[in-house]
Amino acid sequence: MAHKDNVNRDRCNDATKYYTFYIKHYTGCKENIIDEFFEELKNFKKVYDNQMRKINACPNVPRILEPTENYIFVVTLTTVSILIASFTLFILYKFTPMKVLLHSYLIKKKIHRINSLEEIRR
């Protein structure tokens, strides 16, 4: 029983070391991304997460490390793109002849639809 406790304690100590290593280098990588090292950090995260699933809970050590991908960037980029596209279309519609062209196109389409319905009724 004591041997099992020692093994668990050693694993928890190692997990603590690995966690601090990851956090230290992960924050450094976020500031200046070095591709090869960042890829190895991703691999390290996968191995750590798999090993921590096998170990009983260690106090003060997370079972899963922070994700290495930056999903906030993707969401921000999508949101900004949609806002820019909407703003551009609004400006084009309000301050260019596009409003007149679009309006006349819709009127022609409506007239064509009405004429088609009248021909079907005859």
pLDDT at 2: 59
Give the largest CA-CA distance in the chain.
96
H helices within 32-97, ranges in order?
35-54, 71-95
Encoded tokens for 66: 């922070």
Encoded tokens for 118: 């009248």
pLDDT at 84: 97
Contact 57, 63 (CB under 8 A): yes
Residue numbers in the chain where pLDDT is lower than 50? none
- pLDDT digit string, tens, across residues 14-24: 888 888 888 78
Q: Closest Cα partner for 37 from 52, 24, 50?
A: 24
pLDDT at 30: 62
pLDDT at 73: 75
Q: Give the start-to-end residue ranges of the domains of the chain.
A: 1-69, 70-122
**49 CB contacts (<8 Å, ≥6 apart)?**
63, 64, 65
**19 CB contacts (<8 Å, ≥6 apart)?**
48, 61, 62, 65
